[in-house]
Amino acid sequence: MLWRSGPGWLRSLPTWRLRARGLQPGGSNARLPALPVWAAASVSAAVPGGWYEALAASVPVRAAEEVLLGAHAASGLPWWGSIMLSTVALRGAVTLPLAAYQHYILAKVENLQPEVKNIAKHLNQEVAVRARQFGWSKRVARLTYLKNMRRLVSDLYVRDNCHPFKATVLVWVQLPMWIFISVALRNFSTGAAHSEGVSVQEQLAAGGVLWFPDLTAVDSTWILPVSVGVVNLLIVEILALQKLGMSRFQMYVTHFVRAISVLMIPVAATVPSSLVLYWLCSSLMGLSQNLLLRSPAFRQLCRIPPTKSDSETPYRDLSAAFCAKFLSRK
């Protein structure tokens, strides 16, 4: 596995490793009028020892640069194509299996719920008997119930090897990967990296397509930024439609993610188009991944246990729920 190869894999990288540095006054980076003033200032403010420069020069970011450069060289595609190809390959090879594993764990946890409810019922009765027998207060009885309930539920998770924390592995891998690749693309777009004497920034400046021919410049049409926000909102709404009877906490989390999706639009409008293109491709892959994992055939292929909430017609149900929520007229 890639993660087990660790330092050995990093040592096998080509000798033309790239070092990420902030913009230098009067240097070659002064030729970048396409970037907003505040964006250039934020990079030049990363003085030696600053947190951003430390991140930009870190081993994971340099490894991400190597991956992007290697994919570009191997595919022979222009930069817009190699960014899309790299995103699809990484999401398909890394996050899709982890997402399937997440659904596998959550399905097993869902199938345990009837047993958990039965244990809770009997434990509640037993604690009530003991409370009357030993004269426990309501507080002592409740603490005793909660302590034993946690222990019994934990035993169930151990028995079926499905602790809910395992379902968070996807987040702990996907979020750092997204950050490292984003910083690597920012290094490229600000002229901080070179490959065999050729400026990657110059390649990106001519590596765009359609309305964004310059990947080092912001998208003045706002098409890419708005697309990122819309796709992210669509993902949030699909996930929300999957959950019936959400708790108050889940509703707060859903509203928070909605707000983040909207705030991503102005943020994406102030960074180089190479980053926004990556964000859009990553979000589209996330949307496709969510839809794919609703397929009964794919879930069976991944050996995800069937649950009571599964549907034989998930896409029809999703379409009906979406229309009922957003298109129906009262």
Is residue 41 domain-resident? no
Average pLDDT over residues 191-214: 75
Average pLDDT over residues 162-178: 91
Q: Above pLDDT 90, what percent of the chain?
A: 36
Is beta strand 198-199 parallel, antiparallel or unpaired with respect to 194-195? antiparallel
pLDDT band with cut points at 50, 70 and 90 for residue 31 = very low
> What is the Cα–Cα distance from 162 to 103, expressed in whole angstroms?
11
State the SS3 of the chain. CHHHHHHHHHHCCCCCCCCCCCCCCCCHHHHCCCCCHHHHHHHHCCCCCCHHHHHHCCHHHHHHHHHHHHHHHHHCCCHHHHHHHHHHHHHHHHHHHHHHHHHHHHHHHHHHHHHHHHHHHHHHHHHHHHHHHHCCCHHHHHHHHHHHHHHHHHHHHHHHCCCHHHHHHHHHHHHHHHHHHHHHHHHHHCCCCEECCEEHHHHHHCCCECCECCCCCCCCCCHHHHHHHHHHHHHHHHHHHHCCCCCHHHHHHHHHHHHHHHHHHHHHCCCCHHHHHHHHHHHHHHHHHHHHCCCHHHHHHCCCCCCCCCCCCHHHHHHHHHHHHHCCCC
Residue-wise pLDDT for 35-47, tens only, equals: 443 444 444 444 4
Is residue 7 domain-resident? no
pLDDT on residue 34:
45
Phi, psi at 199, each rounded to 5°: -70, 125
Is residue 66 domain-resident? no
Is residue 59 domain-resident? no
Least-confidence region, from 6-10, 167-171, 235-239: 6-10
The pair of three-digit structure tokens given for residue 279, joined into one six-digit string = 């964000």
pLDDT on residue 88:
93
pLDDT on residue 115:
92
The pair of three-digit structure tokens given for residue 192, joined into one six-digit string = 């901080």
Structural domains in the chain (count): 1
Residue-wise pLDDT for 232-255, tens only, equals: 999 988 888 776 666 778 788 888
By residue range, what is the domain housing residue 242? Answer: 76-328
**Cα–Cα distances in angstroms (integers) from residue 60 to residues 3, 110, 290, in the given order:** 12, 36, 27
pLDDT on residue 230:
92
Residue-wise pLDDT for 141-152, tens only, equals: 999 999 999 999
281 touches 178 (CB < 8 A): no
Phi, psi at 308, each rounded to 5°: -65, -30
Average pLDDT over residues 115-140: 90
pLDDT on residue 49:
52
pLDDT on residue 146:
92
> What is the Cα–Cα distance from 294 to 311, expressed in whole angstroms?
9
Residue-wise pLDDT for 76-101, tens only, equals: 899 899 999 999 999 999 999 999 99
Is residue 31 domain-resident? no
Is residue 28 domain-resident? no
Between residues 30 and 110, which one has the greater pLDDT? 110
pLDDT on residue 248:
77
pLDDT on residue 328:
62
> What is the Cα–Cα distance from 159 to 152, expressed in whole angstroms?
10
Amino acid at 298: F
Is residue 6 domain-resident? no
pLDDT on residue 192:
67
Asked if residue 164 has pLDDT above 60, the reply is yes
Which pTM was predicted?
A: 0.75
Is residue 301 domain-resident? yes
223 touches 268 (CB < 8 A): no
Residue-wise pLDDT for 190-201, tens only, equals: 876 655 545 787
